[in-house]
Every structure is written in structure tokens, then in C-alpha cells.
Structure 1
Amino acid sequence: MEGARPEPAPEPVPGPSADAEAARPADPAPLGVTRTPTGVADIDAWLDRLADADHLAASGHLEVYEDVHRGLRDALTALDRRPGPPAPAPPAAP
């Protein structure tokens, strides 16, 4: 058709800017801290739980740390509840 105007090209949809990409936090990287097992299964399990924080953003670390702290505190408290060896007998009177 003569005299018909061409349709305007659609405007491009803006994508993420370079500034927005730079401001995005990087994925957390494991710290790679090695740990020597204690030999106490319950304690080692709580310490292994700390590795869960490696896969979380910093905002999720608190929950893991509080959970581990609670578990270790409970393990220490349980030690106080166990009966220990009997007290030594007092020395015999002369």
C-alpha cells in the first residue's frame, strides 16, 4: 500500500544492568576448615552440622549456629546428670 506507514519496531525490554549484576552477592563458598573427629559420635555429628552453613547465605548461618550450640550445650548438660564414680571413702580414724 502506498502511503502506509511502517509499524514502529518494538522497544527493547531492558535486562539486568551491569551494576545490578555486580551488586548481586556471589554464591557462598565453603571455608574448607578441617576438623579432627572427637571420637564421640554425638559431638562429631553436631560439629558436622556446621558444614551445612557452607551452603547457605549468611542470613541462614544463625539458624545453623544456634542449632549446633543448643546440641553441644545439651550434651554438656547431660554429662552433669550422669552419676560419676563413687566418692572416695574418708580416711580411717586412727
Structure 2
Amino acid sequence: MSDSVSEAVPSAEAAVLEPAVPAEHEYEHDPSAPAPLNVPRTPTGNADVDAALDRLADADHLATDGHIEVYEDVHQGLREALTALDARPGPPAPPGSYGNRS
């Protein structure tokens, strides 16, 4: 065997496995685990809408297959908030409006 070939082949001592990440750079958590997206949510001023949007943070700690439940819950909360806007009583209509001509 020539010297160039023996240099290219690692010796048995060099084949000892070392950690891929040095100890000072170890991860604090599993990098493949769910992580927060840290998307800022600006308050809307509507308590029902804000509560529904705050619920989105619950998805940050779930695997992707768990997101659908959170998204459906938020969607339902937003639908209920919109429906509540339509159901709120407004000021009474003045007599004679809306075709009530006597």
C-alpha cells in the first residue's frame, strides 16, 4: 500500500465516534419538537375575537396533527363573535320607517 492510500483511510483510533455537537453547543430541547412561531397578535379591542386569536398560541406546542383541533376551535369562536355582532339589539327604529305607513 502506498502512503497516499494510508493517509486517506482513517486509523482505528480516528474512527472513535465523537459527539456531532460539542457539549457547549448542545440543544436545550429537541430541535424536531414543536416550537412556537412567535407570530405577534395585535389586540382587536373585541374581547371575544381577542380570546379566540389568543387560543392560536395553543398550537405552538402541538405537533402539526394537533393543530386542526385548535384551528377549528378558533374558527368557531370567530364565527360566534361575528354572529353576536348581528344579534346585538340596536336602537329602536322610529315609527313609520321601513314601510310602516299608516
1:41 to 43, 47, 51: 47
Structure 2: gaps of 5 or more residues:
1-30, 98-102
- Residue 31 of structure 1 aligns to which amino acid in structure 2? L
TM-score by length of 2: 0.58
Cα deviation code 1:5-51 (max 9, x no counterpart): xxxxxxxxxxxxxxxxxxxx810111111011112222111110000
Q: 2:73 — aligned with what? A: 67
Count of residue pairs the alignment pairs up: 67
TM-score by length of 1: 0.62
Shift of 1:90: 6.7
Q: 2:82, 2:39 → 1: CA distance?
A: 24
Structure 1: gaps of 5 or more residues:
1-24
- Residue 33 of structure 1 aligns to which amino acid in structure 2? V
2:91 to 70, 85, 89: 85
